[in-house]
């Protein structure tokens, strides 16, 4: 199924059905949840704006394939992943997206939060405060992506950073788990590897 949507209500309905969605240019306000396999392609100027209310995009169902391309995601406010929050064993890909002006509760994950599943950001740009947190058993791939803030890989999470620029890479394990970050052809301004619970940093 392929639909073009221009309003928030239509987008909610289209997300419930899944398939291919073309998001028309303009600001679409709300917090959206992907509950089935879906590909969202934004026209130039397509914006999803949570307007300070929850995550812009939430994925909490297992075994989904979710692709978002050419969309700006902004205005989120959430405890984990104000921009994009993935807490299920699903595949989520953001391609050529901007993730900006999302605000975390306390210190964590204004931009993207990954507690499970595989999340790939390809050719994306994130705002200064839009950090990424990968925790528990989540996996993150940053490919040709610009992240001026930090990516935190904690607990048993893993991350692959390839061809990207990152302001800060933070690694912190837990007493029973060690995170791993693999860095390939990337520039990272600062690495903060916890002294008491360090992670594995693999330079490839």
Which of 53, 95, 144, 146: binder of other proteins (CB under 8 A)?
A: 53
Beta bridge partners of 171: 153, 193
- Contact positions with other proteins (CB under 8 A) in 18-37: 30-31, 33
The yes or no reply on residue 83 touching other proteins (CB under 8 A) is: no
Window contacting other proteins (CB under 8 A); options: 16-24, 39-47, 65-73, 195-203:
195-203
Which of 6, 60, 65, 123: binder of other proteins (CB under 8 A)?
A: 60
- Taking the C-alpha atoms of residue 127 and residue 135, their distance in angstroms, rounded to an integer, is 21
Query: Least distance from C-beta 32 to other proteins, angstroms?
Result: 9
How far CA 195 is from CA of 82, 100, 110, in Å, comes to 28, 31, 25
Query: Least distance from C-beta 1 to other proteins, angstroms?
Result: 22
- Taking the C-alpha atoms of residue 38 and residue 60, their distance in angstroms, rounded to an integer, is 14
Window contacting other proteins (CB under 8 A); options: 65-73, 78-86, 91-99, 139-147:
78-86
- Contact positions with other proteins (CB under 8 A) in 148-187: 155, 169, 171-177, 182-187
Output the six-digit token pair for 69. 């391309």
Query: Least distance from C-beta 19 to other proteins, angstroms?
Result: 20
- Taking the C-alpha atoms of residue 67 and residue 93, their distance in angstroms, rounded to an integer, is 5
Window contacting other proteins (CB under 8 A); options: 16-24, 34-42, 98-106, 118-126:
98-106
SS3 15: helix
How far CA 43 is from CA of 6, 8, 27, in Å, comes to 11, 15, 11
Cα–Cα–Cα angle for 149, 169, 39, rounded to 5 degrees:
65
The yes or no reply on residue 9 touching other proteins (CB under 8 A) is: no
The yes or no reply on residue 55 touching other proteins (CB under 8 A) is: yes
Output the six-digit token pair for 155. 């607990």
Which of 79, 91, 96, 144: binder of other proteins (CB under 8 A)?
A: 79
- Taking the C-alpha atoms of residue 83 and residue 9, their distance in angstroms, rounded to an integer, is 19
Measured from the CB atom, the residue of 3 and 177 that comes closer to other proteins is 177
């Amino acid at each position: 199924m392929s639909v073009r949507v221009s309003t928030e209500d239509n987008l909610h309905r289209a997300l419930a059905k899944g398939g291919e969605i073309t998001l028309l240019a303009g600001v679409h306000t709300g917090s959206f949840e992907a509950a089935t396999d879906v590909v969202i392609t934004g026209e130039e100027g397509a914006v999803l704006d949570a307007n300070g209310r929850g995550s812009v995009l939430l994925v909490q169902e297992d075994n989904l394939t979710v692709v978002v391309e050419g969309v700006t995601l902004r205005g989120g406010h959430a405890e984990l992943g104000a921009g994009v929050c993935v807490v299920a064993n699903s595949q989520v890909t953001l391609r050529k997206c901007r993730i900006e002006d999302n605000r975390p509760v306390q210190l964590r994950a204004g931009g993207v939060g990954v507690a499970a599943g595989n999340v790939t950001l390809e050719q994306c740009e994130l705002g200064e405060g839009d950090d990424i947190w990968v925790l528990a058993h989540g996996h993150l791939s940053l490919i040709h992506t610009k992240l001026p803030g930090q990516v935190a890989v904690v607990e048993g999470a893993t991350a692959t950073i390839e061809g990207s620029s990152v302001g800060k890479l933070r690694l912190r394990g837990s007493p029973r788990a060690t995170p791993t970050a693999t860095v390939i052809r990337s520039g990272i301004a600062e690495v903060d590897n916890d002294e008491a619970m360090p992670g594995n940093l693999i330079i490839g």
